[in-house]
Amino acid sequence: MFSKEESKLLRQEFWTSFGKSFPRKWILYNTKLKGFSFKFHFDTKKALVALDLEDDLEHRIKYWEKLTALKSILINDYLPDAVFDEAYILDNYKEISRIYVPLDAKVSIHNKNSWQIVMEFFNEKMSLFEAFFEEYKEVIEG
């Protein structure tokens, strides 16, 4: 078991190490679309990359409809393991819409032996997510 401080330091070390291992500018929140962002998630049980729709319901529905129309392209050409979840509940009980790709391996941010696997997964999958977004941004915005 790790103390809160030890856990915090490990998390900081992971993200610093990830940034040094894969030094590039990710889109993340810089999509220019309200409530539309990409996220990396890594905790003591799982790792995933996600596209989150967190704005008001009207924007969520608008973007969700566009993304579901592009679902076969995203799955066939970019991310075959993508999971579409229109009503995803976050740990804080907030409901969002999320498309995510989970890492299908037992990993923990507290286990440095799993870091390299997660970093490579993050780099590969987020790069594909961003490529999809760049290619279809105008359709999603429209």
pLDDT tier at 3, thresholds 50, 70, 90: confident
Q: Is residue 113 classed as helix, strand or coil in its secondary structure?
A: helix
3-state secondary structure 37-97: EEEEEECCCCEEEEEEECCCHHHHHHHHHHHHHCHHHHHHHHCCCCEEEEEEECCCCCEEE
Q: What pLDDT does 139 receive?
A: 96
Tens-place pLDDT, residues 42-71: 999 999 999 999 988 888 999 999 999 999
Kindly list the domain boundaries of the chain, sorted by start residue.
4-141
How far is residue 13 CA from its own chain's centroid? 19
CA distance 32 to 56: 16
pLDDT tier at 16, thresholds 50, 70, 90: very high
pLDDT tier at 2, thresholds 50, 70, 90: confident
Tens-place pLDDT, residues 66-114: 999 999 999 999 999 999 999 999 989 999 999 999 999 999 999 999 9
pLDDT at 142 over 90: no
Torsion of CA 62, 65, 67, 69, to 10 degrees: -140
pTM of the model: 0.93
